[in-house]
Structure 1
Amino acid sequence: MDATGLRVALFSGNYNYVRDGANQALNRFVTYLLRQGATVRVYSPTTDTPAFEPAGDLVSAPSFAVPGRKEYRVPHRLSAKLRRDLKAFQPNLIHVSSPDPLGHRAVSWARAHGLPTVASVHTRFETYPRYYGLAFLEPLIESILRRFYRRCDAIVAPSESMAQLLREQRMNYDVGIWTRGIDREIFNPGRRDLAWRRALDIADDVPVIGFIGRLVMEKGLDVFSDTVDQLVTRQIQHKVLVVGEGPAREWFQNRLPQAVFTGFQKGPDLGRAVASMDMLFNPSVTETFGNVTLEAMACGLPTVAARATGSESLVTEGVTGRLIRPGAIGNFADALQTYCLDADARHKAGQAAQARAERNGWDQVNQALVDTYLRVIRQRAQGLSVRSSPVP
């Protein structure tokens, strides 16, 4: 079998109603699958105000709004209507991208029908409770995730560091890599626009520290703010440029009143914003990959990041940027101070970062997941059942 024989049922907790790096990667992948001649059907919550048009056929799944985070929805069941749709579609592989109730039911459906299942891991859900005063729940959530992923034939992670963590957590015996690509037409140093910076009241000679991403607390906004406070105390000349939107924007603006907030940017506008920074500061520990880090690297920026999954697979310490112990405010400030004061060090690390980003083309990374699909289907056909837990 090749890609033309694939009939993939993809289950997602957020395929297109809120824009983030994970669902954009899924949409790109579906586009690639369709281009290769595969047949795809996507099952996900939908809203009347989607963030973007979905790739492929999208079927709405029953869902409810997350309490306190109403922009997100939880698909809570595999309804009779969805079961009938699945039966009519006749998939030969199930892909689950979120360990939510719908994802669990999809895996059970696949096992009941003898179909192989591949799960993609997009975020470290087990770390989320610590940002809401519920860190004691992390072992329980990790246990739930382990049960979910062990019932799949294979799981894929977006970085080698995340894959290794999943192995250490005993999530599955078959852990592969489905990394992320970069659109070099959008993200490159040529997008740098000093006139655009000046329009935001940023002088040409002022080093710009960038933040890119959804404005939610689990992205490390508190660590970012505390680190910037130290630079202010040290009287280090800089400007903070925040690109993104989210429910914590008001909190972030109150903490960083001198920062420039551009709101959400996309396409060439996002490329311009990223290339017009001088360095990226990414203190988050929740990413499994870090799309924004790769985008910044492609634009020739050094990155100061938390030493965590995702960033460790992209940033080479002392070469393309700095990797700092999570939460080490003083060390983060030291690294940013060096890049603010030493333009040569900044330029050298940026050049190395751009060279590293050249490895990630979308077609190459998406074909790796197609190859995983074909392998697990072939293994099932040969009677090689998944080495997972015996949970039905």
Structure 2
Amino acid sequence: MEDSALRSCGRRVAVASIFPENSGGGGGIVAHELTRHLAERCEVLLLCPGERTALATNSRGVKVLTVASAGPDQVYYPSLDRSTCNRTIAWLDEFRPEIVHSHDPIMLGAIAQYYALGHSIPFVITLHGLPNRILEFGACELPGFRARRLVQPVVHSYISRFLADCDGIVAINDSVIRALREYPLRARVFPISNGRDLARFRTGRFADMDGRARNLCFIGFLSERKNQMYLLEMLAHLPPDYRLRLVGKTLVPGYERRLRRFASEHGLNNVEFLGQLDQSAIPACLADTHAFVSASRLEVQSLTVIEALASGTPVIGLANETVDELVDDAVGRRLPRETPPAEFARCVERVCSLPQARYDRLCRQATDRVAQMDWTRVVDATAAAYETLVAEFSPLTRPGHAPALGVHGLNPLTYIYGHLNMSASALFYSCHRYWHRLGRLTNAHRSPQAR
């Protein structure tokens, strides 16, 4: 397709995310940033959680359809009662999308698919996680999601049916493509990576190798999957001149307490818990980092690894999906999963002891490694995928029915899980709103002395 055609997509695209802006980790960030960049070429409507159910136009000219949602940190239950669903569908009807693009297979992502199926519109999903390991990501790491073995068959059945009803699937790397081989698909699979605004991270300078201090960094939720405990064990084998900065808020409070207790018991005064930083602060944080270190057990395509490489920061990591894809000796070090912390520490010292000239070469190669992940190229590929889907779309190739709202398919397992995502979501929303109001009433009726 002509480049000019790609840059003037002209389609009406509805994008769905289960996260509000600046929330939800990589999947939420990418969904909102993609929407912003698509809006420069297409007419876009974004469906996402919000304080109330409403349709508005934001400062960038993007129509944003929010569904009233509430819940604990990083989990947003939309109020998916019949009235809300009808209002949402009416606003989508008014927008008349030609493509529906979801970034999640549940809740608002499922509503988006129901809409596309019922209105004979091409539907595409970007898979930010591995579909066969979905219970190991994000909110599923919270304590309330521990009974994974009990729900695994239900989830597998639901995901199988959801993918079977897709017209297109965006696979962000080969690990997703391999996972999709377990599913009988009719959808066209588009290999399109996550996108980043790479220019923000190219400061033009690399960390100074002359001084004795060495800065290490990891950015991401504090969680067992991210495995920051391993990084602390590794830090215990390094000289005190090495400082580890852990950026990100805790997903499970108990895990952060364990990390802090370990650091205290082992005299690790050279570790800093910086909490969540605004996206605008990440480039400066990486600019004086000598090495980005990662021990994540499962990481499909980490935005922070991409950002570290884009900034010219070498990455040293245990093998996982992201490290296998992007990291080797040309840009850092990739180590086997079973590498002991002491050996990881020795590898860190070798990289951080390089002469400035050799270190700078490593940094330049890191920047080059992710050059194809700039948003401009990613949006080009996404727009081309939309055109392919529209050109090839035929409702006759779809299954013989569109599932009723609230029930995904006829399999009893998908029936159960569909109701958990739809009907129960409204119940969870109401409960959280009730407790929020109760807390406000309690505070309002406290005596001045109690305040």
Aligned residue in 2 for 1:219 = 226
Q: Give the secondary-structure state (helix, strand or coil) at the position aligned to 2:76.
A: strand
Letter in 1 for 2:244: V
Aligned residues, how many? 372
Q: Does 1:105 align with 2:99?
A: no
Cα distance in structure 2, aligned partners of 1:327 and 1:363: 38
Counterpart of 2:365 (choices 337, 352, 366) is 352
Aligned residue in 2 for 1:149 = 163
Counterpart of 1:115 (choices 101, 121, 131) is 121
Cα distance in structure 2, aligned partners of 1:388 and 1:157: 26
Q: Deviations over 1:140-178 (max 9, x none)?
A: 334432322221101112223333333355566522122
Aligned residue in 2 for 1:73 = 76
Preserved contact between residue 15 and residue 54 of structure 1 (Cα < 8 Å): no
Q: Give the secondary-structure state (helix, strand or coil) at the position aligned to 2:231.
A: helix
Preserved contact between residue 51 and residue 68 of structure 2 (Cα < 8 Å): no
After TM superposition, the runs of 4+ consecutive aligned structure 1 residues lying more than 6 A away are 387-390
Cα distance in structure 2, aligned partners of 1:144 and 1:343: 53
Cα distance in structure 2, aligned partners of 1:44 and 1:376: 23
CA 1:350–1:192 in 2, change beyond 3 Å: closer, same or farther? closer
Preserved contact between residue 34 and residue 40 of structure 1 (Cα < 8 Å): yes
CA 1:152–1:164 in 2, change beyond 3 Å: closer, same or farther? same
Q: Give the secondary-structure state (helix, strand or coil) at the position aligned to 1:186.
A: helix
Q: Does 1:166 align with 2:158?
A: no
Preserved contact between residue 171 and residue 192 of structure 2 (Cα < 8 Å): yes
Letter in 1 for 2:39: L
Q: TM-score, normalised by structure 2?
A: 0.72
Aligned-residue offset at 1:388: 11
CA 1:239–1:388 in 2, change beyond 3 Å: closer, same or farther? farther
Q: Give the secondary-structure state (helix, strand or coil) at the position aligned to 1:81.
A: helix
Percent same amino acid among aligned pairs? 20
Letter in 1 for 2:242: H
Aligned-residue offset at 1:281: 1.1
Q: Does 1:83 align with 2:95?
A: no
Aligned-residue offset at 1:73: 0.7
CA 1:63–1:268 in 2, change beyond 3 Å: closer, same or farther? closer
Preserved contact between residue 97 and residue 120 of structure 1 (Cα < 8 Å): yes
Aligned residue in 2 for 1:199 = none
Preserved contact between residue 15 and residue 26 of structure 1 (Cα < 8 Å): no
Cα distance in structure 2, aligned partners of 1:269 and 1:182: 15
Cα distance in structure 2, aligned partners of 1:388 and 1:283: 46
Q: Give the secondary-structure state (helix, strand or coil) at the position aligned to 1:155.
A: strand
Cα distance in structure 2, aligned partners of 1:101 and 1:19: 14
- Stretch of structure 1 that moved more, 184-193 or 173-182: 184-193
Aligned residue in 1 for 2:235 = 228
Aligned residue in 1 for 2:26 = 21
CA 1:42–1:220 in 2, change beyond 3 Å: closer, same or farther? same
Aligned-residue offset at 1:122: 1.7
Cα distance in structure 2, aligned partners of 1:346 and 1:244: 27
Cα distance in structure 2, aligned partners of 1:335 and 1:23: 33
Aligned-residue offset at 1:347: 4.5
- What aligned pairs does 1:335-346 form with structure 2 within 5 A after superposition? 335-343=347-355, 346=359
Unaligned runs of 5+ in 2: 53-57, 403-408, 411-451
Aligned residue in 2 for 1:127 = 136
CA RMSD of superposed structures (Å):
3.4
Cα distance in structure 1, aligned partners of 2:261 and 2:203: 31
Q: Deviations over 1:44-101 (max 9, x none)?
A: 11149xxxx7862222224341xxx434213363612112212222212211111213
CA 1:166–1:188 in 2, change beyond 3 Å: closer, same or farther? same
CA 1:172–1:334 in 2, change beyond 3 Å: closer, same or farther? farther
Q: TM-score, normalised by structure 1?
A: 0.81
Letter in 2 for 1:99: P
Counterpart of 2:330 (choices 316, 319, 323) is 319
Aligned residue in 2 for 1:374 = 387
Q: Give the secondary-structure state (helix, strand or coil) at the position aligned to 1:240.
A: strand
Q: Give the secondary-structure state (helix, strand or coil) at the position aligned to 2:317.
A: strand
Cα distance in structure 1, aligned partners of 2:120 and 2:223: 40
Cα distance in structure 2, aligned partners of 1:126 and 1:325: 24
Aligned residue in 2 for 1:9 = 14
Letter in 1 for 2:303: N
Q: Does 1:364 align with 2:367?
A: no
Aligned-residue offset at 1:291: 1.1
Cα distance in structure 1, aligned partners of 2:201 and 2:126: 25
Preserved contact between residue 191 and residue 271 of structure 1 (Cα < 8 Å): no
Counterpart of 1:33 (choices 31, 38, 44) is 38
Letter in 2 for 1:205: R
Q: Give the secondary-structure state (helix, strand or coil) at the position aligned to 1:310.
A: helix
Q: Give the secondary-structure state (helix, strand or coil) at the position aligned to 1:126.
A: helix
Letter in 2 for 1:96: S
Q: Give the secondary-structure state (helix, strand or coil) at the position aligned to 1:227.
A: helix
Cα distance in structure 2, aligned partners of 1:346 and 1:357: 18
Cα distance in structure 2, aligned partners of 1:268 and 1:62: 28
CA 1:270–1:172 in 2, change beyond 3 Å: closer, same or farther? farther
Preserved contact between residue 192 and residue 378 of structure 2 (Cα < 8 Å): yes
Aligned residue in 1 for 2:420 = none
Counterpart of 1:42 (choices 46, 52, 59) is 46
Aligned-residue offset at 1:25: 2.1
Aligned-residue offset at 1:271: 0.8
Q: Give the secondary-structure state (helix, strand or coil) at the position aligned to 1:270.
A: helix
Q: Give the secondary-structure state (helix, strand or coil) at the position aligned to 2:296.
A: coil
Mark the structure with the bigger radius of gyration. 2
Counterpart of 1:298 (choices 310, 327, 341) is 310
Unaligned runs of 5+ in 1: 195-202
Aligned-residue offset at 1:248: 4.9
Aligned-residue offset at 1:226: 3.0
Q: Give the secondary-structure state (helix, strand or coil) at the position aligned to 1:79.
A: helix
Aligned-residue offset at 1:130: 6.9
